[in-house]
Amino acid sequence: MKLVASDPDIQTIVGRIRDGDIDLQPDFQRGSVWNTKKKQLLIDTILRNWHIPPVHIVSQDDSLCDEVLDGQQRLAAIYDFCCNKFSIDGSVEPHDDLIRSLHGCRFSDLSPSVAKKINKFSIRVLSVTDFNPEEPGELFYRLNHQVTLTPAETRNAYFGEVRDQVREVAKNFERWGLTKQTIGFSNARMAHDDVVARIMCVLDWGHISEKVTANKLADRYRSGPAFPQHIVDITSAAFESLGGAINSDNYQIRLNKATLWSWVLFIAVFHRLGGDRDNEVLGKHMAWFEELRLSMKGLGLENSPEEVSVAAVFNDRAASRVADVSSVVIRDIILWASVKMSPMASILDSAPLKLVEHVEKADRNVKWFSHNSFDFGLSNSGPESEMVDVALKESWGEIS
């Protein structure tokens, strides 16, 4: 790996960002966690002509743009200021008469001389070239070892095919209607990328009987192999279908990473078993189930004991031990069994036999559980654990 130093000025850097030559990756690393005060402090530092830390950029010969490895938030703050998104704080200590006189000014309000001073401020840029896939990630880790990063943020620094495949799917979320407003959380801290990576892993493995750990994902990012294209296509189709289903019913669903993971897996397998791709039908099913489980406190007599049972267990396994094999399997079984209870039940009359058999197998598991326990405690023993054991012995969760 080589690091090539240069000292472009702010005007040059802002121009490259505007032209798309430098990718700030809005959802990269920790997301946009700098508040306005911190951005103003950076601009104050520049106005005082003080030093700011170098920026590390990854340059790849086959890429149309360079990617920021470290220093994304510094560059984003500078770019935002030059785009008039926030103003100067003239009250920052130590007191400076010039800066005080600029209090409240945005970039377009500055005199030509002050604007030139900012534009001509140089920033040390270290371009990373000729690297092995794991080297930028190791450099990123060492530069940020005192910063708490999520596993997904750390993985995103492993440059390679797996990272690119996951990012390509996650970048389409907004186009598919999967936003914070529709699913309940954004891609801050790369939460969307994390779900995409986990879905791709289990679809590639062909089963959910193995825990998807952060270490396994990191190894895949670091060393490969890349996911087969059909796995990428199945994953994309499932997320796109989820977006269509949610938006067809105009129902704002409040998910977390665990429940999003379960719904996308359900849809991917539903498609592979030949299920109807009518987003409206799927949307009504999702709305019914999510309203059921999220309104547990207000359940009335219209809800059967079986519905109460599955909703309570699903909620428990979506809030604790969420990534354990037992929780993943239980949530999956419940989503499939709920097909017979919801408005979606009508599709079973004309559905492919293998899909109907899948629903029936889930229904048998849930009925057995409902008749044996209403204890929704946090222990890993008892009927819940037995249900998982039985399901796995029956090859539940094998994705054909």
**Do 134 and 206 fall within a single domain?**
no
pLDDT for res 305: 58
Same domain? 203 vs 77: no
Residue 154 in any domain: the answer is: no
pLDDT band at 373 (very low <50, low <70, confident <90, very high): low
Residue 380: pLDDT band by 50, 70, 90 thresholds?
very low
Which stretches of the chain are assigned E, i.e. beta strand? 2-6, 22-23, 55-58, 66-70, 125-129
Average pLDDT, rounded, for the chain: 86
Residues 125 and 191 in one domain: no
Specify if 325 maps to a domain.
yes
Residues 214 and 337 occupy one common structural domain: yes
- Could you give the number of structural domains in the chain? 2
Does residue 155 form part of some domain? no
pTM value?
A: 0.69
Contacts of residue 233, Cβ cutoff 8 Å, sequence gap at least 6: none
Last residue of a domain, one of 149, 176, 197: 149
Per-residue pLDDT band at 301 (split at 50, 70, 90)? very low
In a domain, 351, yes or no: yes
Of the candidate ranges 78-92, 253-267, 364-378, the one whose mean pLDDT is the lowest:
364-378
Q: Cα dist. 129→56, 61, 66, 379 in Å?
A: 11, 9, 10, 51
Identity of the residue numbered 352: P
Q: Is 134 found in the same domain as 211?
A: no
pLDDT recorded at residue 320 = 81
CB-count burial class (<10 Å; 0-12, 13-18, 19+) for 9: middle
> Do 215 and 347 lie in a common domain?
yes
pLDDT digit string (tens) for 95-142? 999 999 999 999 999 999 999 999 999 999 999 988 877 788 778 777
Same structural domain, 7 and 122 = yes
Quote the pLDDT of residue 222.
Answer: 86
Phi, psi of 21 (to 5 degrees): -80, -20
Over pLDDT 90: what percentage of the chain?
50
Residue 280 sits in which domain range?
Answer: 161-393
pLDDT above 50 (res 261): yes
Contact between 25 and 152 under an 8 Å Cβ cutoff? The reply is no
What is the average pLDDT across 26-51? 81
Same domain, yes or no: 123 and 170: no
Residue at a domain's end among 149, 174, 198: 149
Residues 245 and 387 grouped into a single domain: yes
The answer on 254 and 214 residing in a single domain is yes
Instruction: Report yes or no on 375 lying in a domain.
Output: yes
The CA–CA distances, whole Å, from 252 to 105, 179, 238 equal: 39, 10, 18
**Predicted confidence band at 240 (pLDDT cuts at 50, 70, 90)?**
very high
Which residues lie below 8 Å from residue 245, measured CB to CB, with a gap of 6+?
Answer: 267, 279, 280, 282, 283, 285, 286
Question: Is 240 found in the same domain as 165?
Answer: yes
Q: What is the pLDDT of residue 201?
A: 96
Q: What is the pLDDT of residue 270?
A: 94
Contact yes or no for 108/102 (Cβ under 8 A): no
pLDDT(361) > 70: yes
Q: What percent of the chain has pLDDT over 70?
A: 88
187 and 100 part of one domain: no
What is the arithmetic mean of pLDDT over 152-159? 84
Which of 358, 301, 303, 368 has its CA nearest to residue 335?
Answer: 358
In-domain check, residue 156: no
User: What is the distance between the alpha carbons of residues 198 and 281, in angstroms, rounded to a whole number?
Assistant: 26
The pLDDT of residue 165: 96
Last residue of a domain, one of 115, 149, 183: 149
Residue 276 lies in a domain: yes
Residue whose tokens read 């719904």: 263
Is residue 63 situated within a structural domain?
A: yes
How many beta carbons lie within 10 A of that of residue 356, not counting itself? Answer: 17
